[in-house]
Amino acid sequence: MSSTHTAPASSKRFPPALYALTVGSFGIGTTEFVIMGLLLQVAADLQVSIAAAGLLISGYALGVFFGAPLLTAATGRLPRKLTLLALMVVFTLGNLACALAPSYELLMLARVITSLAHGTFFGVGAVVATGLVAADRRASAISIMFTGLTVATLLGVPAGAWLGAQLGWRASFWAVAVIGMLATAVIAWWVPADAGERSTSSLRDDIKVLTRPQVLLGLLATVLGFSGVFTVFTYIQPLLTQVTGFADAAVSAILLVFGVGMITGNLLGGRLADRHLVPTLLGSIATLALVLAAMSGVLHLPVAAVVFVGLLGMAAFAIVSPLQLRVLQKAEGVGQSLASSLNIAAFNLGNALGAWVGGVVIAQGPGMEALPWVAALLTASGGLVAGLSVWLERRQVLQRPVKVGLAA
């Protein structure tokens, strides 16, 4: 019996439950990314440096990294729908705490609490999503769920930045808490009760997935490949205002361009990965590295800088579905939910690594203008790991003995 409610293989339409997951990912994506459009306001209000404010992104990402495997293990015996609803409640309460936080330290704590829901929601959600569709549409199903993240960047982050500029940064978190309540209601209504059975395997069996070298290489490729995105995107507001020369009011509009790129790249990456997973995986990471490298040469050209913000969004999210599906395939069987959550954690460890590296480059290194090419090196290292994974896989296949049948 399938572990999820599966759509007929011949169905051309995605089931409503998949879009319910998209709504949840929109709420989580908004709270993850909205802080980037509020970085200067938060730093000024709480009297901390821009680099310290950037650590609010690292703190969130680290919370996802550590929270994902722990919560996945803790909820592994629960029905998946109940798990998703419980996570959305944690998410909503965490955003309320962010809105009320009186100090930098308490805001950091509230961000970490909020982040605990993130990794397990996307990890469990990805397993549910791939079970809702036919085998040849799994990457597309993942990309549909992750469209919530991209739409959050297109609509949620600019709206949050505008709301923060008009009413203060706390108003943005109040709004995200409302989104969390709506997402909880939608998931409760649309996701069927049999959207995933309880796991029958033990935690020890689940953990065995981490003994698979290809799973570990996939996780490492995710960390390094995606870290370059946040080396730049964490500091996109000061980059655009202090380096390119845009006014603060222009940042929200430019973030719309990034969001359009994310949606396009996310859906394109899913479609291509369904057809040719390995070429899409390697090609998308290489493209992201090239976009980051080229971006360093256009920061002082306003029009070109905006174009490359859009290209960065497209290239960044074109790699998401291939990386997620690669790990899911290599973790087929026992431990798939844990591996899926760990890969979401790996994305966020990449976020934390990128934000930290970016802060070091600004505060102690060559400065803000060097962020894109440093980011390109990080992403290129992820591409090398992915290439090594594919090479080892093919070498193993080529070395298998060929069985020759003898005619009677």
- The CATH number for 222's domain is 1.20.1250.20
Instruction: Produce one character per residue of 62-94: b if its CB has 16 or more CB atoms within 10 Å, e if not.
Output: bbbbbbbbebbbebbeeebbebbbbbbebbbbb
Q: What is the pLDDT of residue 397?
A: 66
Whether residue 199 is contained in a domain is answered as no
Percent of the chain with pLDDT over 70: 91
| Mean of the per-residue pLDDT values of the chain | 85
The answer to whether residue 10 sits within a structural domain is no
Residue 148 pLDDT exceeds 80: yes
Which of 27-31, 200-204, 286-290 has the weakest average pLDDT?
200-204
pTM: 0.76
- Residue 163's domain comprises 16-193+205-395
Please choose, from the candidates 372, 9, 401, 26, the residue with its C-alpha nearest in 3D space to the C-alpha of residue 180.
26
pLDDT tens string 299-346: 999 999 999 999 999 999 999 989 988 998 898 776 777 888 888 888
Is residue 403 in some structural domain? Answer: no
Report yes or no on 351 lying in a domain.
Answer: yes
| Type of residue found at 8 | P
Q: Is residue 9 part of a domain?
A: no
**Whether the predicted pLDDT of 36 surpasses 70:** yes
pLDDT at position 224 over 80? yes
End-to-end CA distance of the chain: 39
Continuous H helices in 75-152: 80-100, 104-131, 138-151
Residue 299: inside a domain, yes or no?
yes
pLDDT tens digits for range 351-388: 889 988 998 999 887 888 999 999 999 999 999 999 99
- Amino acid making up residue 325: L
Count of the separate structural domains present in the chain? 1
* Domain assignment present for 345: yes
Residue 144: inside a domain, yes or no?
Answer: yes
